Amino acid sequence: MGQKGFYYDSTICTGCKTCQIACKDVNDLKVGSNYRRVYTVEGGRFPEVWGYYLSMSCNHCEKPKCAENCPTGAIYKRDKDGLVVHDEDRCVGCKMCLWSCPYEGPQYNKEEGKAGKCDGCADLIDEGENPACVDACGMRAIEFGDIEELREKYGDHTDLKVLSDYNLTKPSVTIKAIPEASK
């Protein structure tokens, strides 16, 4: 099994949120629900201030706590590519996945009374295409593929504050970031 994952280069991201909008569109998400979110991170103290954008979705972890703690098996890893997907029909809306994920991947839909999450656009992947967020990014700051190949190509950047629970879940993501984003 090859583990699929994301590479994200925050040093070239402009924070336009096109990836977030493409994700909302392809998943037909309502207001308030985002499977991919773009955050603005800033800090420092004048005159040494810094800032960057961070685009995050489900990290399709090697050891997903959301799947491990889902009582109905509605969230599970696909054997063929390691994507962590959600079966809406099996979801009972208990929110255990929301409480288990350290990266706020699963989202709760109040209208449906169920959770939902990024599935890496599994249906597009099965057709040989990229996830919607990847193709929408005008800066080409997001790439999707075999996580080991991405880490070999770009480096294994996991020493970031946003990935503080790395050893707990082993997220399938590598992020190029400014030095201030590191632990």
Q: What token pair was written down for 27?
A: 């998943």
**Which architecture does CATH list for 4-181?**
2-Layer Sandwich (3.30)
Give per-residue pLDDT as tens, 79-109: 999 999 999 999 999 999 999 999 999 999 9
Q: Is the pLDDT of residue 1 over 60?
A: no
Give per-residue pLDDT as tens, 99-142: 999 999 999 999 899 999 999 999 999 999 999 999 999 999 99
Q: Is the pLDDT of residue 166 over 80?
A: no
Look up tokens 């996991």; give the residue. 158
- 154: number of Cβ within 10 Å: 15
Query: What is the Cα–Cα distance from 35 to 29, expressed in whole angstroms?
Result: 8
Give per-residue pLDDT as tens, 35-45: 999 999 998 99
Q: What is the DSSP string of 99-125?
A: HH-TT--SEEETTTTEEE----SHHHH
3-state secondary structure (DSSP) of residue 131: coil
Question: 164 falls in which pLDDT band (50, 70, 90)?
Answer: confident
Q: β-strand 4-9 against 173-176: which pairing, if any?
A: parallel
**CA quadruple 16, 131, 172, 107: dihedral sign:** positive
